[in-house]
Amino acid sequence: MILVMNSKASQKELDYVIAKVTERGLRAHVSEGKECTIVGLIGEKDIIAEFNGEALPGVEKALAVTESYKLASRKFKEADTVVNVGGVFVGGNNIAVMAGPCAVESREQLLESAWAVKSGGAQFLRGGAFKPRTSPYAFQGLEEVGLRMLAEVGKITGLKIVTEVVDVGSLPVVCEYADMLQVGARNMQNFQLLKAIGKLGKPVLLKRGLSATLDEWLNAAEYILNEGNCNVIMCERGIRTFENYTRNTLDLSAVAALKLLTHLPVVVDPSHGTGRWKLVAPMARAAVAAGADGLMIEVHPCPANALSDGPQSLTPDNFTSLMLEVAAVAGAIGRKLQ
């Protein structure tokens, strides 16, 4: 349930409403918009159903929220959320770009990649130190050694670091080095990890699960929001379908749908979404046209020698060309790259 306050409601009336909500054992989530203030009720369904919010002073109307996700819902917060990652913003009018190799392989490889993506216009360096792979024989990442490299290169280049956290046990060490935590597709419904991340204030990039519906994905975000961390960014990276030409099926309709359903920023990863580097640029352009707030692109100095995901990685030159194309699309719809 949400309580829509009257446009002339006083702060005293708002405080009274919050107090009454709290008295009933519920939590009040206040969202102040340009035209009105909304108080969202969080708690047991039976108690919420019996709560007579319209009888309280200053309340204009009470509306039921049928979605199982509440805090992520556009009904709870009408204005778009903009996530601040150390002074770089994801959401709003600007489009953020996260780029770099799939996996950290060496300091030299990472530094070369970082300068290349920074020169092309990226604000974030992406790179995996912990690499959950389908095969146990595939490269699993350099772990803390890789994290230290990411932090060092980020400091040298000024890029913000986004890297994956794979379990609760490794969360503290990843937090020590990363500016933003990435929850991978395989961990989208690792609820213990989501709750642990929710207790932190650190921004988080939540990738869509391999076969997750939008409802399941938004409920995963709700786990993080419900613990108090509102710095959540959704990342569409393709879902598993019957098609096998591409690595996954990149669902760009999800971008437009999420813009209706949630206030959270939406980023698209066309590298994992297609698995083919020649498809990355057209899908990146399409993602921006569809309303994405950012892109996550895999870039490697020499994709043919990459230890992970070489076939979907762009060379630095191809990344630079892509950024020029994306800037043109962004300008056509009244947005711009940061």
Average pLDDT over residues 25-30: 91
Burial (CB count within 10 angstroms: exposed 0-12, middle 13-18, buried 19+), residue 133 = middle
Q: pLDDT at position 75, please?
A: 87
Contacts of 259 (CB under 8 A, 6+ apart): 266, 291
pLDDT above 90: residue 284: yes
Does residue 240 carry a pLDDT above 90? yes
Q: What is the DSSP letter of 91?
A: S
Whether 31 has a pLDDT exceeding 90, the answer reads no
Among all chains, which residue has been given the structure tokens 């959704």? 234
Under the banding of pLDDT at 50, 70 and 90, the label for residue 142 is confident
Q: In this predicted structure, what is the pLDDT of residue 246?
A: 97
d(CA 140, CA 91) in angstroms, rounded, equals 32
Give the closest residue to 84 by CA, choosing from 73, 96, 72: 96
Radius of gyration of the chain (CA): 21
Task: Kindly report the number of other CB atoms within 10 A of residue 113's CB atom.
Answer: 27
Domains of the chain, CATH where assigned: 2-63 (3.30.70.1140), 83-337 (3.20.20.70)
* Pick from 226, 97, 70, 112: nearest CA to 160: 97
Query: Which band of pLDDT confidence, cut at 50, 70 and 90, is reported for residue 64?
Result: confident
Mean pLDDT to the nearest integer, 238-256:
97
Residues 224/134/298/179 CA torsion (nearest 10 deg): 30
C-alpha separations of 86 from 79, 168, 180, 244 in Å? 21, 23, 9, 39
Strands 294-298 and 336-337: what pairing? Answer: unpaired
pLDDT score recorded for residue 94: 93
Neighbouring residues of 293: CB distance < 8 A, sequence distance ≥ 6: 90, 91, 92, 95, 96, 233, 265, 266, 267
pLDDT at 133 over 80: no
pLDDT digits (tens, 9 = 90+) for 100-132: 999 999 999 999 999 999 999 999 999 999 866
- Give the per-residue pLDDT at 139: 63
The answer, as to whether pTM is greater than 0.75, is yes
Residues forming beta bridges with residue 180, ordered by sequence position: 162
- Of 139 and 101, the structure prediction assigns the larger pLDDT to 101
Instruction: Indicate the average pLDDT of the chain.
Output: 94
Using DSSP, state whether 150 is helix, strand or coil: helix
Confidence of residue 65 (pLDDT cuts 50, 70, 90): confident
Residue 159: pLDDT above 90? yes
